[in-house]
A = this chain, B = another copy of it.
Amino acid sequence: MKTVSESKAFEGTQGVYSHPAATTDCEMTFAVFVPPQAAQAPCPVLWYLSGLTCTHQNVMDKGEYRRVAAELGLVIVCPDTSPRGDHVHDEKDNWQIGTGAGFYVDATQEPWSRNYRMYSYVTGELPELIAERFPVDMSRQAIFGHSMGGHGALTIALNDPERFRSCSAFAPIVNPSTADWARNAFATYLGDDESRWRAHDACLLVEDGKRFHEFLIDQGDADQFLDDGLRPWLFEEACRKSGIPLTLRMQPGYDHSYNFISTFMEDHLRWHAARLGA
């Protein structure tokens, strides 16, 4: 693991690191905020998964999580959203597939399957590295994310509910199988057999019997992607039918940007901290 940069922030340390990842067969970069409490004892870990076109850096620059994470004693880990590199296949003219658009799945289709294995990377290889190299209490983990990263958080939590104490999302893609901007990526990465998509679709995972303790979702009602891509009411209905507690808050006037995320970041951090015993 290489240290790309480390900088003091709110009495903690905001770092950027990279490592040669076996799962994605490329150098992967990620950001970690370590709060000052970590000098005394390992801290719980909150995973933040980012949206389409993002790297580890967008939320690090614009998410405004450090102040409250430093107060509450949370380690915040922010992975990249896809493999990257000259040898990594891409569709350069399509922001919804390839670089910045890993969708937190393991691709099964050539030529994507060599590198596009973000599910295994985010749930397996990176957590092992984090556990080894940072002052973290891996028995206390939570996960959240934005848009495509909200999709990632919901599906990863539903697939492994014992690992996470809590899960929340900002404007998540809750039903990618029927969302304009995700169907093409799912077909490209996973093939045309839509039964293979279900393990990566929050609404369908719930329909198929997967459960999680409780979700928190914030959604701006001025979000330009609300009706075509996001449609949180579909997940609300799935949770209602299956008895999963969901707090869905429609936030009037907020759009899809980091101005929305940063506004409600503090709420999410405090909500997770309460469930992480932080």
Contacts and interface: CB of A to CB of B under 8 A. Distances in A.
Contact of A259 (B8, B220, B254): B8
A10 B263 contact: yes
Contacts of A254: 8
A62 to B, nearest CB: 5
Contacts of A258: 61
A64 B61 contact: no
Interface string A244-274: 0000000001110111101100100000000
Contact of A61 (B7, B62, B222, B255): B62
A221 B37 CA distance: 22
A253 B8 contact: yes
B260 A8 contact: yes
SS of A interface (majority) = mixed
A7 B258 CA distance: 9
Chain A interface: which size bin?
A: 20 to 34
Contacts of A259: 7-9, 14, 66
A67 interface: yes
Interface string A1-14: 00000011111001
Contacts of A7: 255, 257, 259-260
A9 B66 contact: no
Contacts of A257: 7
Contacts of A62: 61-62
| Chain B CB within 10 Å, residue with most, of A64, A220, A257 | A64
Given A14-B259, A259-B14, A262-B66, A8 B222 contact: yes
Interface string A154-189: 000000000000000000000000000000000000
Interface string A185-224: 0000000000000000000000000000000000010100
Closest 5 CB pairs between A and B?
A9-B259, A7-B259, A8-B253, A64-B64, A10-B263
Given A8-B222, A64-B262, 7 more contacts: A7-B259, A8-B220, A8-B259, A9-B259, A10-B262, A61-B62, A67-B262
Interface of A: 7-11, 14, 61-62, 64, 66-67, 220, 222, 253-255, 257-260, 262-263, 266
16 contacts: A7-B255, A7-B260, A8-B220, A8-B253, A8-B254, A8-B263, A9-B260, A11-B263, A61-B61, A61-B62, A61-B258, A62-B62, A64-B262, A66-B259, A66-B262, A67-B263
